[in-house]
Structure 1
Amino acid sequence: MLAERLSLSPCAILSFDRGGPTPLVCVCRFLRLEIYLCHCQCYADDAKLVPSSATDIDPHHIIDTVKHLERHRDWDEFRTVYRTGDGVVVKKIYDPEAALSEALNLAMIRSVTSIPIPELRRVVVDGSTTYLVMECIEGDSLKDRWPHLSLWSRLSVAWTLRGYVAQLRRLRRSVPGTLPGGRCNGPLFTEDGAGPFHSYSDMIAWFNHKLEVSQRMNQAPIHAPRFDSRSPLVFTHQDLCPRNVMLAHDGTLYLIDWEYAGFYPEWFEYTTMLRQTDLPISWRWMVPLIAGWFTNMARCVSNISWALSTGAMM
């Protein structure tokens, strides 16, 4: 796969401009990265370095504040997002590849769609830990608000999210995976992820191998349909659920947590939404409205569930 290597020095912003009215800007100050940008419709063809304007965020203050918050609360290893004041939240990520992917995803979505997302204001690196400094959305998680919404309000939320998914699906690429081309993670991959895949056929072969593993272990019907590449590869959030939707005080719906996002078959959004656990049935009823109907593919994914979990190493 053809790639372009960009070395980002400290105090720089990575900007991608495809001719639209708004440049795609990813703050990468105090960060040294090597980014491999594939040329196959990856929305990063015209990368350039421009001066940084985010001078009001001290990286040392961010690191110290997060460590202070961790010391003065009950330990929760699953909590990685901290509200530090000054209108920002900080997401702490231990995997540099995942941090790069989410930063680029936020920048791309903000540039080429009208989907409301938090503004990425700075990326701070401390050893192997990355801190994404983002705009704080004043509002409530949809997870907390959903039980109290009327049926009409729930339909309105679902219809808005349907529009967001439609925008994402207009972003397409010929090679599956993350924007920077790293390892694929999410509900439809094993705990350790998969790939990176160099072609669509490589990813389909991986899924069909998982199907064969499940069949050998009598965990899937012997004549179960195989995966194929008929569906286009579209940009997919892959973790679209109420906890990742913020309902702002002005009524705007924001999508957050873009770590798993990438270019995957069109049916991915539907099947990953259904694989979320502990969701109210009223939300599950809205999934087809939001992401379309892909019941056949949901059955295909169900056939490989054993191979994605218990048989992940096979």
Structure 2
Amino acid sequence: MQPSDIDDLSDQQLLELSKTAPRVHPDASPVRLTPGTVAKPSQDMDEDAPDAPEANALDLVFAETTIPVPRVRRVVKGQWDFLIVMDHIEGPTLAQVWPTLSVWRKLLTAFTLRRYIRQLRRLKAPAGTPPGPLSRQAQGPVARTCESPVFGQVQSHRGPFASYAELTAFFNERHHRALDAQGVPKEDPARQDLFDDSGPLVLTHQDLNLRNIIVGEEGRLYIIDWAWSGYYPPWFEYVAMKRQNEDEPISGTDDELWKALIPFICGPYFKQERWLLRVSQALYFI
């Protein structure tokens, strides 16, 4: 690993520095810690978390794929959370660059992101690993509260789920609850249309939008903000990306071509999206 300009700083110095460092963006939590690094607090939904799942995901992607991501330099335990210190990636976001690209360049960008997703889907959850945020391998499987746009905007976090079967059971129970509310007869075939758990749990980013992609040197596309990442069914990436790109303030663009490219990038999981739409009413309940 190449040296970093924080190598000679203690954990306590990094924590103190983070209190006064300027924000990278007014609406975002990361701060510019040093010329070569940024830092952000962990966003784990569970109190007393033993580590920082976002850092775990970044380490895994860095080690096992060719997807450009910020290199994690240090994870420091603070009073309430962890401080994740990582390399600063110089360059504009894809949201800033997208309007200047030709249609051909936009299509090439989609091909690149499609390759990234395919690499992520090769990172399958080890046997016995519960769905959701990643734990360090040495600690063994740890079930953690899951946060995902798939759960809806009203209650975006659920669990923890001890197993894939528990995640499936949660959604199927909400499916039956939604059909009951709609007055669907018990013998209706829709009752047998259940949660799609046919694919393995794979590493999923869940927040892919133009603001979370940095255009670095020589046009390399870096993926940032892995706070919602975890092991989920493959189709979660499609639904999450679709929802994150419905609104311009979140996505960074209202470009129809970008929206149309999402099924190509993540796979056309239209059936699963329609199923989730039918369930959405029951996801409003705690």
* TM superposition score normalised by structure 2: 0.80
2:132 alignment partner, one of 177, 193, 207: 177
Aligned residue runs from structure 1 range 1-314, under 5 A: 55-69=7-21, 79-93=28-42, 95=44, 97=49, 100-173=52-125, 174=127, 175=129, 176-180=131-135, 181=142, 182-189=144-151, 191=155, 193-218=157-182, 223=190, 225-276=193-244, 277-278=246-247, 279=251, 280=254, 281-308=256-283, 311-313=284-286
d(CA) in 2 for partners of 1:109, 1:232: 18
d(CA) in 2 for partners of 1:243, 1:263: 22
Q: Are 1:80 and 1:93, in contact at CA under 8 Å, matched by a contact in 2?
A: no
Q: Taking structure 1 as reference, are residues 94 and 201 closer, same or farther at Cα in structure 2, changes over 3 Å only?
A: closer
d(CA) in 2 for partners of 1:220, 1:177: 32
Amino acid of the structure 2 residue aligned with 1:179: L
Bigger fraction of residues in helix:
2
- Alpha-carbon deviation of 1:68? 2.0
Partner in structure 1 of residue 138 of structure 2: none
d(CA) in 1 for partners of 2:72, 2:282: 36
d(CA) in 2 for partners of 1:255, 1:219: 44
- Secondary structure, aligned partner of 2:285: coil
RMSD: 2.7
Amino acid of the structure 2 residue aligned with 1:244: N
d(CA) in 2 for partners of 1:99, 1:304: 33
- Alpha-carbon deviation of 1:226? 1.8
Seq. identity, %: 36
Q: Taking structure 1 as reference, are residues 94 and 288 closer, same or farther at Cα in structure 2, changes over 3 Å only?
A: closer
Amino acid of the structure 1 residue aligned with 2:34: G
- Alpha-carbon deviation of 1:299? 0.6
d(CA) in 1 for partners of 2:146, 2:19: 29
Aligned residues: 256
d(CA) in 2 for partners of 1:80, 1:299: 34
Q: Taking structure 1 as reference, are residues 304 and 97 closer, same or farther at Cα in structure 2, changes over 3 Å only?
A: farther
Q: Are 1:219 and 1:306, in contact at CA under 8 Å, matched by a contact in 2?
A: no
Amino acid of the structure 1 residue aligned with 2:150: L
Q: Are 1:220 and 1:303, in contact at CA under 8 Å, matched by a contact in 2?
A: no
Gaps of 5+ in 2: 136-141
Q: Taking structure 1 as reference, are residues 97 and 146 closer, same or farther at Cα in structure 2, changes over 3 Å only?
A: farther
> Cα deviations across residues 99-146 of structure 1 (Å, max 9, x unaligned)?
611111111111111111000001122200321111000101112211
Q: Which has the higher contact order (CA 8 A, sep 6+)?
A: 2
Amino acid of the structure 1 residue aligned with 2:266: A
Amino acid of the structure 1 residue aligned with 2:134: L
